[in-house]
């Protein structure tokens, strides 16, 4: 690892302070930092967010899961390792604590680390046959209503086979990584991230028998919005939102690229579940 790129939680002085420490310890390796960290380091900001990742062979995230998801989006399919340092409140994917930062970084520099290659989903939004949005997510694709308390009709097919029409507040399509996020809050299952699959979880469905389903990763899911309501949105990883119209079609399938997260050897998956989500407590 010869070139580090630093991303930090915005508005967090601790992230800027840690960026300075990393630069001091590895002056020849830290090559780029996003704008607010670059200002703290006295550097010019990168030309763009994409330019931040270009040329780096390690991304260090100083923040929480939202910052890590942002780093994964900036990587845009590049198999660049991401080391997540938790400065947030939950930190389910940013497994390394502040105290473990430099011991973990020493191991990474020495090449002593393991990678979790996490599945992503690709998403395409078409309107009247025209491609409106094409993007990828690490956690989830969400169709959800806005402020108006009206259920919407989501006609769903898998590999062109009609499945059902969800009359619901929305639908979450999640990866195993995203199974512990919105999908779980909506009643979806926890799925180990070593698996590849797609979880479909309706949000407050009108039919109580329409529970979540888990399908193989090589299927293509299409959802067409059949309602006339003008208050439905498509949200990608909680980072990008798009207003939907009746007749819009959303196509979801497994992405050919993956997100490469550096594992914390002292944190197993179920230990993270117990610590972060209090899973299994009575």
Domains and CATH numbers, the chain: 4-114+263-277 (3.40.50.10330), 120-256 (2.60.200.30)
Give the relative orientation of helices 101-109 and 13-25 as an angle to the nearest 10 degrees: 40
- pLDDT tens readout for residues 32-70: 888 889 888 888 888 887 788 888 899 999 999 999 999
- pLDDT tens readout for residues 134-189: 999 999 999 998 766 678 999 999 999 999 999 999 999 999 999 999 999 999 99
pLDDT of 135 reads 95
| 273 HSE (CA, 13 A, CB side) | 14
Give the whole-angstrom CA distance, residue 137 versus residue 173. 10
**Tokens matching residue 239:** 């980072």
Share of the chain above pLDDT 90, in %: 62
Alpha-helix runs per DSSP H in 91-230? 101-109, 182-185
Using CB atoms within 10 Å of the CB of residue 137, give its burial: 0 to 12 exposed, 13 to 18 middle, 19+ buried.
buried
Give the number of residues written for the chain. 282
Picking from 271, 275, 274, 264, the residue whose alpha carbon sits closest to that of residue 68 is 264
Give the whole-angstrom CA distance, residue 46 versus residue 127. 35
| 15 HSE (CA, 13 A, CB side) | 25
Residue 18 β-bridge partners: none
Can you state the percent helix, strand and coil of the chain, rounding each to 5? 25, 35, 40
Residue with tokens 């890590």: 68
Contact by Cβ (8 Å): 58, 4 = yes
Active site residue 65: yes
pTM of the full structure:
0.91
Check residues 166 and 89 and name the one with the higher pLDDT. 166
Give the whole-angstrom CA distance, residue 19 versus residue 139. 26
Q: Which of the residues 28, 47, 49, 65 is marked catalytic?
A: 65
| Weakest mean pLDDT among 45-54, 110-119, 246-255 | 45-54
């Amino acid at each position: 690892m010869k070139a580090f790129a630093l991303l930090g939680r915005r508005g967090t002085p601790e992230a800027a302070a840690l960026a300075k420490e990393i630069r001091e310890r590895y002056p020849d390796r830290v090559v780029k930092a996003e704008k607010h960290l670059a200002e703290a380091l006295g550097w010019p900001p990168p030309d763009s967010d994409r330019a931040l990742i270009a040329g780096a062979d390690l991304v260090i995230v100083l923040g929480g899961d939202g910052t890590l998801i942002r780093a994964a989006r900036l990587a845009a399919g590049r198999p660049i390792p991401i080391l997540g340092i938790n400065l947030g409140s939950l930190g389910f994917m940013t497994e390394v604590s502040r105290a473990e930062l430099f011991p973990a970084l020493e191991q990474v520099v020495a090449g002593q680390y393991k990678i979790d290659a996490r599945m992503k989903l690709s998403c395409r939004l078409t309107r009247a046959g025209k491609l409106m949005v094409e993007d990828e997510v690490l956690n989830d694709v969400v169709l959800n209503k806005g402020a108006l308390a009206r259920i919407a009709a989501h006609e769903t097919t898998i590999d062109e086979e009609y499945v059902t029409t969800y009359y619901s507040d929305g639908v979450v399509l999640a990866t195993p990584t995203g199974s512990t996020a919105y999908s779980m809050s909506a009643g979806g299952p926890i799925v180990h991230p070593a698996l590849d699959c797609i979880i479909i979880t309706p949000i407050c469905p009108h039919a109580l028998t329409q529970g979540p389903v888990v399908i193989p990763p090589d299927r293509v899911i299409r959802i067409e919005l059949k309602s006339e309501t003008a208050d439905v949105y498509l949200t990608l990883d909680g980072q990008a939102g798009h207003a939907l119209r009746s007749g819009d079609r959303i196509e979801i399938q497994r992405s050919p690229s993956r997100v490469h997260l550096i594992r914390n050897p002292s944190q197993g998956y179920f230990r993270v579940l117990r610590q972060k989500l209090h899973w299994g407590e009575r």
